[in-house]
Structure 1
Amino acid sequence: MLTLGTALPHLMRGATAGMPWEWPLFASSCLALLGGLLVFLLGDGPHLPKASGRLPLRQGLSALRLPRFRAVAGGYFGHMWELYAFWTLVPLLIGRELQRLGQGDALIPWLSFAVIGMGAAGCIGGGRISRTLGSEWVARRALMVSGVLCLLYPWMNGLPPELLMAALLVWGVAVVADSPQFSALAAVTAPKETVGSSLAVMNAVGFGLTLPAIWLTSGLWNAWGVWVALLLLPGPVFGLWSLSRGKPEA
């Protein structure tokens, strides 16, 4: 859902080509409001316990004292450093290759939707594989693949644009395939009585890390070009290192 939701505005932009840029933004905002309304009307359902009130932040932070949960959280933090910054760079990277092919900008939103949306296949495929090989196995391999692409993509600069676009599709699959696996690992390794609080704290820190990553990569694009991909590399490297420290269980 997250992956397709992120890709959807690019599809809207492609479908409204030639129209003012405000139209896809307006449509995305309307869909967000509709989603919020559905959540409000449908509620959480009778199977969930009633919320106790404020988020017990101290309990959520206490989970980080557990080596296994801390290892998973560190892996997730590294994953998040890369994920949204990569999604931000996708239209820029695609636009560069289309320019090399002598194409205009009309295909950028369609190809951006394809690259980002391919992550849904990675999430589904990773979920199926995790049933036999475990969530940690999937998370590690996804981090490895995306980390290798962070490192190699700038050096592939001179290859045909078609090959670089294929690399972006692979990257789009790998960069988010570990996301649901980190959620599963965190739910298993967090204390049962504070699972919700622990995941909330982990997600909050992870999304907070996306801000400097996006700021750095987009801000340096004009000066560095494709070499900004190297700024994403610390994410997968740190994630793999963290997972190796705590030996979390699937």
Structure 2
Amino acid sequence: MSQPTSRSALILIVIAQFLGTSLWFAGNAAIPEISKILGEPELTASITTAVQLGFISGTLIFAILSIPDRFPPNKVFLYSSLLAAFFNLGITLLPLHLFNLLIGRFLVGFFLAGIYPVGMKIAADYFQKGLGSALGFLVGALVLGTAFPHLIRALDLQFSWKFIFWTTSILASLGGILIGWKVPDGPFRKPSPKFDWGVIPRLSKLPALKGAASGYFGHMWELYTFWAFVPALVAYFSSQPTQTAFNAYLSFAIIGVGAISCGIGGLISVKKGSNTVALFSLVGSGICCLILWILPNSPDYLWIGFLLIWGMLVTADSPQFSTLVAQATPSEYKGTALTLVNCFGFSLTILSIQFAQFLQKWLELTQVLSLLFLGPAVGLLLFKIFKNKKEALSPSLPAS
């Protein structure tokens, strides 16, 4: 297999990442029809949580076993894409029961652990300089995929729910084959030669890694809860909340605009550094949380503009914190570190969403989401604490 240039490899990784992560919210796009068939009025939380739990389980196992570092990451991406596509397709082949649906979505999430963080690992193997820009485009592809179900709902396309699952399975398979066939090991890959139980404890001794991870965790506490409640926020502010098509288009725009900010933030990071972009975005999105408290009863142009700005700021720090994680980790353990940080970050999203739903018993929606500022605030504080710690470790991973 001929070695592609860094630029061509990035293009292929971004395309494959988008195709592979199309599986993530395929179930959400099919919810209206599945809900009618099963007689379950509200499946969004259950289906989303099943995928998230699968992803958390997958990333934990992949990290403990150091799979992205011990094995060729393009092969890990390929096999994970094919397996995720298989279990996604399996939902249409088995009798449609809630149990089968949730198990299928859990297994899709499990093998997404070999797609999203491993895609970032492959990008890191091709870029030493400009990694922030590369990951900006990569995460932007995921953000666009996240917004996509809202566009499907807005268009009111009369696709069978099975067609959605078939299509996303084909796309994910193509993405995996693209990586496995066209993107060999990057020039900066340094494989980990053997399994080592002590890798994760030793990674935890790297202050720069702990700082980057802390910022990422603060960002994740806010991100998915914001995304989950975007439709509710739009309906809350809208003067005509029953216009479901308009609200769905607007929800797509508020989430999808984050793909643009990820790309722009990545380009800015080349000159200003990932640290600057990540902190600016984290602080900005935290301020947006607080502004939300005083925003009700605003004219349409004000709250729509505000939510679009928030949608940009809430995502732009994600690829830059991932860049800082990769830069803080020895080459032979980048995949393990990225996967582990993803695991803990996505675990926080479930806690945050459930906490927000719990608080809605007593508080207005805007008040609940205003409290999300605690994530960026704590993340920023811990990031600064670890950054100010004197780096007493050598550039290589400390010995056990």
Q: Give the TM-score taking structure 1 as reference length.
A: 0.87
- Unmatched tracts of structure 1, length 5 or more: none
Letter aligned with residue 379 of structure 2: G
SS in structure 2 at match of 1:247: helix
- Are 1:173 and 2:312 matched, yes or no? yes
- Equivalent residues in 2 for 1:12-91, closer than 5 Å: 12-16=152-156, 23=159, 26=162, 28-44=164-180, 45-47=183-185, 58-91=198-231
Residue identity opposite 1:144 in structure 2? V
| Alpha-carbon shift at residue 109 of structure 1 (Å) | 1.1
Q: Distance in 2 between matches of 1:70 and 1:221?
A: 32
Counterparts of 1:153 and 1:205 in 2: how far apart (Å)? Answer: 27
Given residue 184 of structure 1, which amino acid in structure 2 is its aligned partner? T
| Counterparts of residues 134-213 of structure 1 (less than 5 Å) | 134-213=273-352
Contact 2:215 2:382 in 1 (8 A): yes
Paired residues, what number?
A: 244
Question: For 2:333 and 2:357, how far apart are their aligned partners in 1?
Answer: 37
Equivalent residue number for residue 233 of structure 1: 373
Shift of 1:72: 0.3
- 1:64 CA drift (Å): 2.0
Aligned residue identity for 2:277: V
Task: State whether structure 2 residue 249 is matched by structure 1 residue 110.
Answer: yes
User: Structure 1 pair 156/15, CA: closer, same or farther in 2 (3 Å)?
Assistant: same
Q: For residues 196 and 357 of structure 2, what CA distance do their matches in structure 1 show?
A: 35
Distance 1:12 1:72, change over 3 A: same
Alpha-carbon distance in 2 for matches of 1:41, 1:51: 22
CA separation in 1, counterparts of 2:332 and 2:242? 55
Please tell me whether the aligned partners of residues 241 and 247 of structure 2 are also in contact (alpha carbons under 8 angstroms).
no
Query: Which TM-score applies when normalising by structure 2?
Result: 0.56
- RMSD between aligned alpha carbons? 2.6
More helix by share: 1
Shift, 1:25, TM fit:
5.8
CA shift in 2, pair 1:233/1:26, >3 Å: farther
**Matches of 2:217 and 2:160, distance apart in 1:** 30
Q: 1:239 to 1:97 in 2, by over 3 A?
A: same
What are the ranges of 5 or more consecutive residues in structure 2 without an aligned counterpart?
1-140, 392-400
Cα separation, 1, equivalents of 2:343 and 2:320:
17
Q: Which of structures 1 and 2 has the bigger CA Rg?
A: 2
- Counterpart contact for 2:204–2:210, Cα < 8 Å: yes
- Check whether the contact 1:89–1:217 (CA below 8 A) recurs between aligned residues: no
State the 1:205 CA deviation.
0.5
The AA in structure 1 aligned to 2:184 is P
Query: Percent identity of the aligned residues?
Result: 37
Q: Which SS does the other structure have where 1:164 is aligned? A: helix
Spell out, residue by residue over 1:68-87, the C-alpha distance to the aligned partner (whole angstroms, 9 max, x if none): 11000000011111110100
User: How far apart, CA to CA, are the structure 2 residues paired with 1:174 and 1:91?
Assistant: 18
Cα contact 1:119–1:177 (8 A) shared by 2:
yes
Structure 1 residues 201 and 7, CA, compared in 2 at 3 Å: closer, same or farther?
Answer: same
CA 1:185–1:26 in structure 2 vs 1: closer, same or farther (change >3 Å)? farther
1: distance between equivalents of 2:211 and 2:171?
A: 33
Q: Does the 8 Å CA contact 2:231/2:251 hold for their aligned counterparts?
A: yes
1:14 Cα offset (Å): 0.7
Give the 3 Å change call, closer, same or farther, for CA 155–58 of structure 1 in structure 2.
farther
From the superposition, tell whether residues 195 and 52 of structure 1 become closer, same or farther in structure 2 (CA, over 3 Å): closer
Instruction: Out of 85-94 and 217-226, give the one that drifted further.
Output: 217-226
- Aligned-partner Cα distance in 1 for 2:249–2:195: 40
Give the stretch that moved more between structures: 61-70 or 122-131: 61-70
C-alpha distance in 1 between matches for 2:161 and 2:371: 28
- 1:56 is displaced (CA, Å) by 5.3
CA shift in 2, pair 1:26/1:92, >3 Å = farther
Judging changes above 3 Å, is the alpha-carbon distance between structure 1 residues 101 and 109 closer, same or farther for their aligned structure 2 residues? closer
